[in-house]
Amino acid sequence: MGSAIKMRTDYSAAELRRLAKSSKDSKQSRRLLSLAAVLDGMSREDAARVGGMDRQTLRDWVHRFNDAGPDGLEDAWNGGPEPRLSVSQKAELARIVETGPDRAVDGVVRWRRIDLQRLIKERFGVDYHERYVGTVLKQLGFSHISARPLHPGQDGEIVEAYKKLPAHAERPSGRPAQR
């Protein structure tokens, strides 16, 4: 059976309790209270129970406390992986999406995710899944909105005249407005 790890002694149990009380992080507070219980002479198993952990976890936190003090008892999140597209590349992609495709160059009349996936791979060398391209577009502030198509024979003047008529007037179709 292994021996107990010596805890650093530059903090008293009362100081650890005071730090636990003033901490905004509840997990750090529980860990500090467990370590204070150890300094008070409580068994490691009982001290671990004070903080809602097992003895092995308490041992790991003692190591972190010995290395970095009370700040070492906070959760350390690393922020995740680095984005594959840089900020300037994302800005360029946003500009490309905003201006729309050139039919002669891009071969499409509107951007689809699969088209942007190909463009991102060719231009930036980053291979995203088609569904993730939608996530990138959402991060850039774009949303999926399709414009209602206009009939090629539609006359804009007739449409405007139709909109300006009062509700009781007879429409160009010969029927009164529906209510």
| pLDDT tens digits, one per residue of 33-53 | 999 999 999 999 999 999 999
Tokens of residue 92, six digits = 């360029």
The domains of the chain are located at 13-73, 87-139
Residue whose entry in the numeric block shows the structure tokens 């999926």 = 144
In this model, does residue 118 exceed pLDDT 70?
Answer: yes
pLDDT, position 48:
94
Q: Can you give the pTM of this predicted structure?
A: 0.49
pLDDT, position 172:
62
Q: What's the rounded Cα separation, in Å, for the pair 144 and 110?
A: 12
Q: What's the rounded Cα separation, in Å, for the pair 12 and 61?
A: 17
Q: Are 171 and 162 in contact (CB under 8 A)?
A: yes
| Average pLDDT score over residue span 23-41 | 94
Q: Are 133 and 142 in contact (CB under 8 A)?
A: no
- Give the residue ranges of DSSP H helices in 69-175: 87-99, 103-106, 113-124, 130-139, 156-164
